Amino acid sequence: MSFVSAPLIVATLLQWFTWRTILLIWAGIALITAFVYTMKGKGGAFPGKEITIKNAKEVGSNPSFWIMVLLFAMAVGGNAGIFAMLPLFFVTERGFDLTSANIIIGLSQLSGILFVFLAGWLTDRVGQKTVMAATLFFTAILTILLAVVKGKMLVIVLFLQPAVLSAFFPAGFAAISRTALPALRSVTNSLGPPLSFLLGGGLMPVIIGYMAESYSFSSGILLAGCFMMMGPLCVFFLRLGESDELDGC
């Protein structure tokens, strides 16, 4: 949730510090956190497999791994990908001033925190595939609505969209680890999410920007919603847990 709350944190800290000082503070917090976890953390006492060509080939040979990469790309695109372009969309096509747009968008992204704690409980009850399919389906509908509604309804949809989407990630991270042998799960989790972020967080804003330049921001966001609508179909072809009974990392 850090990348969605970051604008609000920075806006608050800028009242007292320069942007350089904020970066130094953040770097210091990261270093201290890493040191404390290294000394006191209760993670496994076993090393994960390293990322080698052999291990990467073995992970990449499973179609379910690439389906999970695509699903994560949809989720990241629906969050970070769209979030990067929302201020421009609100200002240029929905008549908001820049300050109001940034405040409303920043606050809306915090709504996901309320639901992410329920997502783990829900995943245990109905299963990872069901949660992923449902969250992508409803997020796709809300994203499409984000492109077409205006006024107060736009603000309501804006708060609902990240809240629903947040439920995907607990189920998604659990599911992607089940696409490989237990001993290779460290490799799976090291390769999958970064590849997904390149697509959803990198390519998606570029596509929305291109659509905005050629047509409108609304058309780009609408395209992102249609892309996510493919999620439930992809989940149908997903095969998970075939090696759950084996030992390993």
Asked if residue 78 and residue 196 are part of one domain, the reply reads yes
At 157, which CATH number?
A: 1.20.1250.20
At residue 6 the predicted structure's pLDDT band, cuts being 50, 70 and 90, is low
At residue 109, the pLDDT reads 76
The verdict on residue 141 lying in a domain is yes
- pLDDT score recorded for residue 181: 82
* Confidence band, pLDDT 50/70/90 cuts, at residue 247: low
In a domain, 24, yes or no: yes
In total, how many domains does the chain have?
Answer: 2
Query: Is 70 exceeded by the pLDDT of residue 76?
Result: yes
Residue 232 located in a structural domain: yes
Same domain for 149 and 185, yes or no, is: yes
Contacts of 57-63 with CB under 8 Å at 24 or more apart are: 58/180, 58/181, 58/184, 59/179, 59/180, 59/184, 59/187, 59/188, 59/191, 60/191, 62/179, 62/180, 63/237, 63/239
- The amino acid present at 61, given as its one-letter code, is S
Phi/psi region, residue 56 (left: phi>0; alpha: psi -120 to 50; beta: rest), is: alpha
- Say if 70 falls within a structural domain: yes
What residues make up the domain containing 38?
A: 1-45
Cβ within 8 Å of residue 55, ≥6 positions away: 49, 184, 187
Residues 134, 14 share a domain: no
In angstroms, the CA 243 to CA 179 distance is 8
- In this structure, the answer to whether residues 98 and 192 fall within a common structural domain is yes
**H or E element in which residue 121 lies:** helix 112-126
Give the whole-number percent of the chain exceeding pLDDT 90.
27
Residue 187: CB atoms within 10 A of its CB come to 24
Local confidence band at 239 (pLDDT 50, 70, 90 cut-offs): confident
